[in-house]
Amino acid sequence: MDILAAQVVKSLAGRDRGKLFIVLKTEENFAYLADGKLRKTENPKRKKIKHLQHFRTCEGPVFQKIINDERVLDSEIRKALYEIYHEESAKQA
């Protein structure tokens, strides 16, 4: 599956292995990622797509803003990732 903007991905390699990110944009073999904490929207992480795993495709205002190329706040990204993480934790319990 291709990695596209506004998807939630999991890092497979590097110091950030296992962390969840939201894809802000893609270019050729790279994706630009933010988590709202360490990697903010002003300075997204540039990571090769082969080092990412598609985690989830989501709907909501944050994801619509990314698709429409609107400004997204770091707090919105943190909140969206927090909700996704807790939904997944509830499913596994």
Q: Does pLDDT of 58 surpass 70?
A: yes
Q: Does pLDDT of 93 surpass 80?
A: no
Instruction: Please give the CATH architecture assigned to the domain spanning 7-92.
Output: Roll (2.30)
Q: Does pLDDT of 12 surpass 70?
A: yes
Residues 6+ apart with CB under 8 A from 5: 23, 24, 25, 26, 66, 67
Q: Does pLDDT of 1 surpass 70?
A: no
Full-model pTM? 0.92
